Amino acid sequence: MTAAFTFPGQGSQAVGMGKALADAFPAARAVFDEVDAALGEKLTAIIWDGPAETLQLTENAQPALMAVSLATLRVLESEAGVSVARDAAFVAGHSLGEYSALAAAGALSISDTARLLRTRGRAMQKAVPVGVGAMAALLGLDYDTAVAIAAEAAQGQVCGAANDNGGGQVVVSGNTEAVDRAVEIAKGRGAKRAMLLPVSAPFHCALMQPAADAMAEALAGVTINAPLVPLVANVLAAPIISPDEIRRRLVEQVTGTVRWRESVTFMAGQGVKLFVEIGAGKVLSGLVRRIADGAIGTAVGSPNDIAGVKDAIAAARAG
């Protein structure tokens, strides 16, 4: 049985995440200390003590989620003998989780990743004035239908598929009026539910081009190494290892669709049966089980999860 390591995206954050790991394991604490030093501030105080509305700010949530994922991975390495190079056929992450995946696979340093995500969060927030853009979840429709609805709703504005999450869940993003139209059209096309999401900006659509430009500049200034194992890129749903291509696809990702359903389908088609979600929450584990028949999705983000995930990875290693 083959394993893949996956890393969660924005929305999985919660005040207090990662604190039990940091309290119990020096390897986890070291990651949080490194992130604080890289940012020149105590992000850990916000992660562990809140308030929630401050943690939810995009510029904080993105590096915070990465910090929890990498702290969790370091504990898996030190306490469970887990090795990305040996135990993972692929790494993949949902949106910002792609940066966590690259740090986990040694393509980016933790310090550079923290600074990149702080830049990314600020740039995505600034790209579109509040109220101009929106996102909505269309549930119970396949991807092609959702894309057609978004195209019909655009009417000269921006409206497109931002996330193809799988399990009949597609998120559309764009100008507020166009997204409102998409919600109404979807309700008439048999969607189980169609609802606006409580987000601060319209991520993963053409309105994010200023943020993509900012990330192109930021990424040009950091060292990217070939990852220990291939990254299944959001915008391709296919594996990449070239540092130059990684840099290019991370820029494209800001305005492009997160092709999560296809990414999981690809990995399952390559023999992956165990998907280990590393970090906060269990969103990706739930999606995996709805996308790939027979796949095992397991999440690790607290000390209580370590033993079970160690056993699951050992079983995968043994085949």
Q: If residue 153 lies in a helix (H) or strand (E), which one and from where to where?
A: helix 143-154
Question: What's the count of helices (H) and strands (E) in the chain, helices before strands?
Answer: 15, 10
CA 74 from centre of chain: 19
Confirm if 261 and 291 have CB atoms less than 8 A apart. Answer: yes
What 3-state class would DSSP assign to 142?
A: coil
| Nearest CA among 121, 115, 79, 84 for reference residue 218 | 115
Render 265-314 in DSSP notation, one character per residue: HHHHHTTEEEEEEESS-SHHHHHHHHHSTT-EEEEE-SGGGHHHHHHHHH
Which spans in 43-96 are helix H?
43-49, 52-55, 58-80, 84-87
Answer whether 110's CB lies under 8 Å from 70's CB. yes
Which strands sit side by side in the sheet containing 296-300, from one edge to the other?
A: 238-240, 231-233, 90-93, 2-7, 272-278, 296-300
Q: Give the strand order in the sheet containing 159-166.
A: 159-166, 169-175, 133-139, 193-196
Active site residues: 95, 204
Computed from CA positions of residues 224, 120, 66, 292, in that sequence, does the dihedral angle turn out positive or negative? negative
Q: Is 206 exposed, middle or buried (0-12, 13-18, 19+ CB in 10 A)?
A: middle
Tell me the residue type at 188. Answer: G
Give me 148's structure tokens.
Answer: 């057609």
For every residue of 53-64, DSSP letters joined together read HHHTSHHHHHHH
